[in-house]
Every structure is written in C-alpha cells, then in structure tokens.
Chain A
Amino acid sequence: GNSVTQMEGPVTLSEEAFLTINCTYTATGYPSLFWYVQYPGEGLQLLLKATKADDKGSNKGFEATYRKETTSFHLEKGSVQVSDSAVYFCALSVTGNQFYFGTGTSLTVIP
C-alpha cells in the first residue's frame, strides 16, 4: 500500500540552527512527493514538491530531494528562523487524486 512515515516531534531548535525532518514512504507506483507547512490557525500550504527520482524541490530556503533508492524525502534548511515555527507534513500521491500524509512534525524555533 501507500504510506508516509515522518519523524516524531516536537522539534525545538535555536535560531540559525540546521534543520532536518525525516520522511520515508512506501508506494505502489511512482509517487509525487510533497512537503506542506501549517502555521498556527491556518490550513496546510504547499512548501515544495518533487515529481520524480532525484528531483530536488526547494522554496523559502527549504530543500528536499526525492531519493528512490532509500524511499526518502527529507526536509532540510540550513538556518532556521523564528518564523519557521510551524507543523510540517510530508505527503505523497500516486494517482493525482489520492493523497497520503504523515502525522506531522511540530517545529519550534527559539531566538
């Protein structure tokens, strides 16, 4: 079947620290992979995506590389800011109309 596993939170980092949030997946076909971010009181927003193996998605300093050999799509940022405090969700879609989400990782960045 299709599923996403992402690292448990919460994660607390100091400003300017390096961030990694792990995400691994299981898929029956060739999935597209997504990272969503949810700021307090808001809906989920697309942060970045990758649609085939070795693609790198990037946005707002965040990056993630689609690794087929390790079935992973880890989210990274070199220097986090207080404004990055949010919940991050990894997701996949194989068919384009069914989506599978991880349970979310809460990130708090302290000044």
Chain B
Amino acid sequence: DAGITQSPRYKITETGRQVTLMCHQTWSHSYMFWYRQDLGHGLRLIYYSAAADITDKGEVPDGYVVSRSKTENFPLTLESATRSQTSVYFCASVEGVGNSPLHFGNGTRLTVT
C-alpha cells in the first residue's frame, strides 16, 4: 500500500533499554520527520532528514538517534529510554518543494516503565 507506515503501533519498554521505532514511506519523498506529541506541548520536532545520509536536529533531539541509509526508511532510536520519553511518536514525509502538505503515519505509542 502506498503511504507512510510506522511500526510498532504500541510499545512498552523499560527504563534504560534501547528501542527503535520504524518508519517507511513509499512515495520517495526527499524529506522525512520525527515528531513527538504530548498533552500540553502539541507536536515537537525531534529530527528531520533532507535526503539519504542527511539528518539534522529539531527542537527536542536529546536522547534520540536517527539514521537514513535509504530514502524510504527513517528509523528513530532511543538509546537508553527514560520515562520522559513516554509519548506518541509520528513520522512524516514531504517532497520538499512547492506547497505540498506533510503526510503523517499513524503513530507509535511508546510507554517507558
């Protein structure tokens, strides 16, 4: 199916563990983004990528690592999960030129215990 897919949809992990959230898009969009959504904070940008092997920090990058070896994939890794990283994580993509809208995945709900 065309679109943007996130996995897993739900994840429970323990403090200190490493966890990776996956994101895959089928449009070959150049730009990909990771946001977290928390009550009272709206959407906050964690990292973004302009192309394969090009990534940059967003508003709240601490504690997260990203990579983009292929255009279609943009995994987000929490190297040592903390309770403050309990959140809903959204991946998004856009071609990056003109006035196209951002396309979102359905999110991953992560709970750190």
**Residues of A with Cβ closer than 8 Å to B?**
32, 34, 36, 41-46, 49, 51, 89, 91, 93, 96-97, 99, 101-104
CB distance from A15 to the nearest CB of B (A): 26
Q: Are A96 and B94 in contact (CB under 8 A)?
A: yes
Count of chain A to chain B residue pairs whose CB atoms are closer than 8 Å in the complex:
52
Q: Are B102 and A49 in contact (CB under 8 A)?
A: no
B100 at the interface (CB under 8 A from A): yes
Question: In the assembled complex, which residues on chain B have CB atoms less than 8 Å from the CB atom of A103?
Answer: 41-42
**How many of B's residues come within 8 Å of A, CB to CB?**
23
| Known contacts A43-B105, A103-B42; A51 and B96 CB within 8 A of each other | no
Q: Are A49 and B101 in contact (CB under 8 A)?
A: yes
Q: Give 14 A-B contacts (CB < 8 Å), ordered by A residue.
A: A43-B107, A44-B43, A44-B92, A45-B104, A46-B103, A96-B95, A96-B100, A97-B30, A97-B94, A99-B33, A99-B94, A101-B42, A101-B43, A103-B41
CB distance from A38 to the nearest CB of B (A): 9
CA distance A45 to B107 in the complex (A): 12
Q: Are B31 and A102 in contact (CB under 8 A)?
A: no
Closest partner residue, chain A, to B41 (CB atom): A103
B106 at the interface (CB under 8 A from A): yes
Closest partner residue, chain B, to A30 (CB atom): B99
Question: In the assembled complex, which residues on chain B have CB atoms less than 8 Å from the CB atom of A41?
Answer: 106
B97 at the interface (CB under 8 A from A): yes
Supplied contacts A96-B96, A97-B94, A97-B97, 11 more A-B pairs, CB within 8 Å? A32-B99, A36-B104, A43-B105, A44-B102, A45-B104, A89-B43, A93-B99, A93-B102, A96-B95, A96-B100, A104-B43
CA distance A96 to B97 in the complex (A): 5
CA distance A43 to B5 in the complex (A): 11
Q: Are B101 and A46 in contact (CB under 8 A)?
A: yes
B50 at the interface (CB under 8 A from A): yes
Scoring B residues 15 to 46 as 1 if CB is less than 8 Å from chain A, else 0, what string do you get? Answer: 00000000000000011010000000111000
Question: In the assembled complex, which residues on chain B have CB atoms less than 8 Å from the CB atom of A89?
Answer: 42-43
